[in-house]
Structure 1
């Protein structure tokens, strides 16, 4: 085991101890056992914390099933879930996994298929789940292994008033070239305001979340169908140079360190006129205390060669294969991902806090639309246009839009992202960054080609 992985596991363990201690009043941590309890391991995102607080008075009161939560930050929970589910100890019955992990875990038989539960549950209504979500949580064997708690795609957010003052109109379906042109014209339109914010922070889930969608629509891909690496191919190179040049010419200050949070703050504080990122950001932009509430327009993810280019991501629920409480685990999932739960959140927490992005019915709910009218339809359209199996112009060897759904991608994407971030900082050229990335991708491709040959 590498020292880096050892440190990660130690950090996860330490965080787990703190969580079990600090959240005991909320049922924090597996304990109690018994046939009428389940253990849930999940990320500490705000909507998950709402769920934790609402469970005892609602789900437990209705079903008699006690839920013991272990709640950890994202990086720590990923490490702990991997450790727990790979060992198949059965300590946790349910975990929050994303559509990145679920197909991988399903192939390893760490999680249980849900099809029989869905078929027998007359209230859950799988057909109401947005099709790309169901598709992204379905493994190669055709079985469903997860249910989304909330989901997102990506779109372009822009200051309507700033564009109007410059005599500009955002196209209904902008291209990246049009967006770059607008960024140039609104750059410094107001004192200290840059044209656009794009993530530059290293990380497979930071810079390469938006950048891989740009690569896709420029005609590039990480790997072709036969696992030939394409990181230094002309299309991948053109897309990356475009992205880096746009940031360097008209992007935010401190771009090599800017991730989702930094760009969100930049748009809220008036430091940038546009931002391409997650649809989930809209709730913060339109919050009652946001200085840009009502000033933001929402356009589809910019394209070049594809009809759409938005990504797809969902925090979802899966059941550990080794769990001996699968029936109760499904009852929890059915409740937490159900229509009734969204209505409960709307009534008790607020409609702006509803875990949206997963059900068609959410976008027909007038109470929800009352607070989300400006971004609800663009969000739904972005998610419904996402195609996790065919996100580019060529066939792919693995599912995924903003990632390649293989375990090795987390390290590959992160290492290459460090080079691209260095290019944004002017410390190396894009060509050099992608040449290094190609060598790393070749190592990954060699392993997969060998596996396919062994299976033949």
Structure 2
């Protein structure tokens, strides 16, 4: 009953306004989503949406890198394969400005001001919201407090990378199936590229200089990537070059990881009760040591079901949806999507079960996407320019080669630098 009441409150007015009931025929929406936990949960929760509205939902669940490739290709060409797409902060402002996705405006009950300012700003262009956050995240350290205590080590907020490496070494026990550090290695600008960029930021590196010339051949990049490769090769699980979020989550929940530095949203899915949290480490520069991201929902321009798609997004990113998950018999308050709305962190039932909430919110609030003297561009773990996905993908492949030992760090960075330089020159930056 609570679920249905919350659903009605969020959808009735918008659906009547769009005419979704007008012809008596059920609409169907095709939705491309990333195959992360909260998105998978949404398929179950949204069964009530179909029951209430008659709008059928066709889900296309894809691995992160595949999703980005397919959604970008279809949206850029106006392919019309999807009515709703998962995108993030790299794409939303650029695609909105280009007219690839529809602007989003919702009713007063939606309370757009409740969306965390960092999320709202990152998904907007010139003050117009082009994608609504389903969940938001930064990155933080998630570590086994019992293993750290047994090894006599501690991990502090904003600790040094050297201390974190020492903690990983102390917890590393491969004979008993425990690896000191589990970190992303799978190639992709949003996979290994995202994590490695935060490491590089903390070493004082930047993707581009003031003239937007790539800087991947700098001493700071070499130091950061060398540290990363040594850390994972010394204290990570075998085959780390194939691991991203879902693979490491599985390892962590099998008690095979001492520490994991990754998306704050992972804390919702950790099963071991002995997990503690700390703000991301750095090597002297804390700015950019933790990323900022939202998996958001957008409507591709030209879909014939734009109004119905916007009505679904209004529900799926609303306060009512959070209540629906919290009150759902299969999920509960520990499984609600976080990082998107300030009000979520004030719900008593959520506060009672989410021991990660304070650390998550602190990480989001401290993320720094704005341009600085060190990095003359917007973005933490990505660069907010249209060319970055191509550059970042090439970079990710080279970093995976360095991690696997197929290339030296120097050769991998040189190849990534050459690729970035060619792409930026062809785009006319210099």
TM-score, reference length from structure 1: 0.80
- Out of 73, 79, 84, the residue aligned to residue 62 of structure 2 is 73
Alpha-carbon distance, 1:97 to partner: 1.9
Q: Distance in 1 between matches of 2:159 and 2:288?
A: 10
| 8 Å contact kept, 1:213–1:310 | yes
1:54 to 1:297, Cα distance in 2 relative to 1, 3 A: closer
Which residue pairs with 2:113 in the alignment?
Answer: 127
Alpha-carbon distance, 1:320 to partner: 2.8
1:156 to 1:393, Cα distance in 2 relative to 1, 3 A: farther
- Out of 33, 43, 57, the residue aligned to residue 48 of structure 2 is 57
Deviates more, 1:225-234 or 1:268-277: 268-277
| 8 Å contact kept, 2:288–2:369 | no
1:57 to 1:186, Cα distance in 2 relative to 1, 3 A: closer
Q: Distance in 1 between matches of 2:229 and 2:102?
A: 42
| 8 Å contact kept, 1:220–1:233 | yes
Alpha-carbon distance, 1:326 to partner: 4.4
- Out of 294, 298, 307, the residue aligned to residue 273 of structure 2 is 294
1:55 to 1:276, Cα distance in 2 relative to 1, 3 A: closer
- Out of 368, 376, 381, the residue aligned to residue 396 of structure 1 is 376
Aligned residue for 2:108, secondary structure, equals coil
1:272 to 1:440, Cα distance in 2 relative to 1, 3 A: same
Q: Distance in 2 between matches of 1:44 and 1:438?
A: 29
1:361 to 1:157, Cα distance in 2 relative to 1, 3 A: same
Which residue pairs with 1:371 in the alignment?
Answer: 353
Q: Are residues 1:347 and 2:338 paired?
A: no
Q: Distance in 2 between matches of 1:89 and 1:243?
A: 40
Deviates more, 1:267-276 or 1:233-242: 267-276
Q: Are residues 1:225 and 2:216 paired?
A: no
Aligned residue for 1:239, secondary structure, equals helix
Q: Are residues 1:136 and 2:122 paired?
A: yes
1:36 to 1:224, Cα distance in 2 relative to 1, 3 A: farther
Q: Distance in 2 between matches of 1:104 and 1:83?
A: 15
Which residue pairs with 1:158 in the alignment?
Answer: 143
- Out of 366, 373, 386, the residue aligned to residue 367 of structure 2 is 386
Aligned residue for 1:202, secondary structure, equals coil
Paired residues, number: 405
| 8 Å contact kept, 1:194–1:250 | yes
Alpha-carbon distance, 1:220 to partner: 0.8
Aligned residue for 2:135, secondary structure, equals strand
Q: Distance in 1 between matches of 2:381 and 2:29?
A: 31
Aligned residue for 1:273, secondary structure, equals strand
Q: Distance in 2 between matches of 1:44 and 1:185?
A: 35
Deviations 1:404-428 (A, max 9, x none): 2334333322322222222223332
Deviations 1:141-165 (A, max 9, x none): 3422111011222111111112212
Which residue pairs with 2:191 in the alignment?
Answer: 206
- Out of 248, 261, 264, the residue aligned to residue 249 of structure 2 is 264
Which residue pairs with 1:442 in the alignment?
Answer: 421
Q: Are residues 1:318 and 2:308 paired?
A: no
| 8 Å contact kept, 1:194–1:252 | yes
TM-score, reference length from structure 2: 0.85
1:238 to 1:208, Cα distance in 2 relative to 1, 3 A: same
Aligned-pair Cα RMSD in Å: 2.8
1:94 to 1:248, Cα distance in 2 relative to 1, 3 A: closer
Which residue pairs with 2:314 in the alignment?
Answer: 334
**How is 1:36-115 mapped onto 2 (pairs within 5 angstroms)?**
37=27, 39-43=29-33, 45=35, 46-55=37-46, 57-58=48-49, 61=52, 64=53, 66-74=55-63, 75-88=65-78, 92-114=82-104
Deviates more, 1:180-189 or 1:147-156: 180-189
Ranges in structure 1 where 5+ consecutive residues have no aligned partner: 1-31, 287-292
Ranges in structure 2 where 5+ consecutive residues have no aligned partner: 1-20
